[in-house]
Amino acid sequence: MTPSTPGANGSPTPKKGKTKDVIPLGELELATVGLRAADAWDASPLLALLWCSKAQFRDAVRAFNASLGTADEANDDLSPAAVRLEELDATINKSLKFVRNFLIEEHDTRKKAKAYYDAFGLTPAGELPTARPARAKGLAKLVKALGDSGYDKGKYGTEFWRTIEKEYAPLATTSSDVRSDSAVDVGTKNTQEVPLRKMLRALRQHIKTNFPDTYAAEWRNFGFLKESY
């Protein structure tokens, strides 16, 4: 592994292809970065923005977290339920190709097969939805469609998916990253998400301007850099 190049003060610059310094797209990841940035900013000599104080930033983070129904610390990703959901997600993502292949065999071409994706709970890309409540519903839809189609044979037939669906549904319901009905509403979520993203982008630039030689290390401290993912 090639080490990163030290800056003038010995602080390593981000390794190309190994770090990301963008605002995360995922909602839970955004909440986590927001909380870490709020804590780091409170402990930092970095002054407030003209239009956003440290307190206003933390309030925005809390409001966004509340809209997701997450705990204020947003650290429940280490719960047993969340770990098991990640394992099931990996199995699902790896195994969906067999469903797509079945549809192609049944309907002769990929184009014709795609017309049946929705009936099988799949998105236009041939995947199940990524949001877990929606994914649980998609699994139920997939199991029913496979049963109706007679795809009962083989390792990846109806029983394979029914077993996953029976375990996945209650985990997705009880896992703390499942949002309340009000938080699922797109308008409510966007009301909190848009200003938080604006604040985080401004804060990143604020850090770079005030720490021109050590901004990479400061970004990391504020949670903007996530290594090797």
Identify the residue with better confidence: 226 or 77.
226
At 180 the pLDDT is 42
Which contiguous run of DSSP H or E holds residue 19? strand 19-20
Instruction: Express each pLDDT in 179-209 by its tens digit.
Output: 444 344 455 567 889 999 999 999 999 999 9
Runs of H (alpha helix) within 20-154: 27-43, 54-68, 80-107, 110-114, 132-149
pTM above 0.85, yes or no: no
Residue 16 has pLDDT above 90, yes or no: no
* % residues pLDDT > 70 (the chain): 76
Position of tokens 């090797």?
228
At 187 the pLDDT is 58
Residue 81's contacts (CB-CB under 8 Å, 6 or more residues apart) are 171, 174, 175
At 186 the pLDDT is 52
Residue 202 dihedral angles phi and psi, to the nearest 5°: -65, -40
**What does the alpha-carbon distance between residue 211 and residue 213 come to, in Å, rounded to a whole number?**
6
| Confidence category of residue 156, pLDDT binned at 50, 70, 90 | confident
Average per-residue pLDDT for the chain:
81
Identify the residue with better confidence: 198 or 148.
198
b/e for 150-172, b at 16 or more Cβ within 10 A? ebeeeebbbebbbebbeebbebb
